[in-house]
Amino acid sequence: MNNEITIREAVQSDVPVLLQYEQGVVKAERPMDPTIRDGEVTYYDLEALMENPRATVMVACDGKKIVATGYALEKPARSYLDHETFAYLGFMYTDPEYRGKGINGKIVNALQEWSTNAGLTEIRLHVYCENEPAIRAYEKKGFKRHMIEMRLRTES
């Protein structure tokens, strides 16, 4: 790291780097999820997220270099919960050279601030149960393990 890490909202000119990082997320998740299709996969509609007034895409920068990403998106909650909407965090990615330096935590802080300013009191995210480093990082930020999703592949 050459400079102090700064956090800002993503802009249109960031999209090429964000698309590269999206493939970094896919590459990191493939070993944990055998159901991800081979080849290039698109998880996010980044431009739609960036244009959505109920969402934000944040980037962490070392100087001008984008080194981490994350978004928050307001989503409707299930009708039986004590909140009507919540902030869903996604696209949580840090350049491998910058991992372990607390940058993801800075992104989470910025997304939490955005969520609070948007009136959202519940924040949720998904993380693979095998991704212990990510789980520990989120627990440091106050997140609690909540639910385990299970799957079964049947013979056809």
Over residues 3-40, the pLDDT tens digits come to: 799 999 999 999 999 999 999 999 999 999 999 999 99
How far is the C-alpha of 15 from the C-alpha of 42, rounded, in Å?
A: 13
- Judge whether 104 and 98 are in contact, CB under 8 Å: no
Structural domain contains residue 60: yes
How far, rounded to the nearest angstrom, does the alpha carbon of residue 27 sit from its chain's CA centroid? 15
Residue 14, CB-side half-sphere exposure with 13 Å CA sphere:
22
Alpha-carbon distances of 74 from 8, 53, 69, 86, rounded to whole Å: 19, 9, 17, 6
How far is the C-alpha of 112 from the C-alpha of 71, rounded, in Å?
A: 10
pLDDT band at 1 (very low <50, low <70, confident <90, very high): low
How many domains in the chain? 1
> Is this model's pTM higher than 0.85 or not?
yes
- Judge whether 110 and 148 are in contact, CB under 8 Å: no
Structural domain contains residue 145: no
Structural domain contains residue 55: yes
Structural domain contains residue 154: no
Domain range for 35 is: 5-140
What is the CATH number for 99? 3.40.630.30
- Judge whether 77 and 22 are in contact, CB under 8 Å: no
Structural domain contains residue 125: yes
The pLDDT tens digits of the residues spanning 52-98 come to: 999 999 999 999 999 999 999 999 999 999 999 999 999 999 999 99
Structural domain contains residue 100: yes
The average pLDDT across 97-122 equals 97
Structural domain contains residue 149: no
Structural domain contains residue 105: yes
**pLDDT at 2 exceeding the cut of 90:** no
- Judge whether 33 and 41 are in contact, CB under 8 Å: no
Residue position matching structure tokens 């928050």: 72
**pLDDT at 102 exceeding the cut of 90:** yes
pLDDT band at 156 (very low <50, low <70, confident <90, very high): confident
> Hey, what are 111's tokens?
């997304």
The pLDDT tens digits of the residues spanning 132-153 come to: 999 999 999 999 999 999 999 9
Minimal CA–CA distance to 95: which of 10, 22, 11, 154?
A: 22
The pLDDT assigned to 155 comes to 87
